[in-house]
Amino acid sequence: MTDRKELVVKLKDLFPQGRISCTEAHDLARKWDMDPRELGEACDEAGIKISGCELGCF
């Protein structure tokens, strides 16, 4: 995933309920070879809440 808009659209498609677990977010970041923080920012843009954060960041 290189284009931020494409990433936001993909996240909305994958998580229409508007929630993703922290574990799922980390797994996706690894799968898509990106920094978890970048994925978190894209989730914010997509209106997707990250739940169960292991660090208490979300």
Band of pLDDT at residue 57, cut at 50, 70 and 90? low
Using the predicted structure, report yes or no on whether residue 4 has a pLDDT greater than 90: no
Model's pTM, two decimal places? 0.82
Q: Is the pLDDT of residue 1 over 60?
A: no
- Find, among 28, 30, 24, the residue nearest to 54 by Cα: 24
Please give the mean pLDDT across all residues of the chain. Answer: 89
Three-class SS string for 6-56? Answer: HHHHHHHHHCCCCEEEHHHHHHHHHHCCCCHHHHHHHHHHHCCEEECCCCC
Query: What distances in angstroms separate CA 47 from CA 10, 17, one per listed residue?
Result: 12, 10
**Is the pLDDT reported for residue 34 higher than 90?**
yes
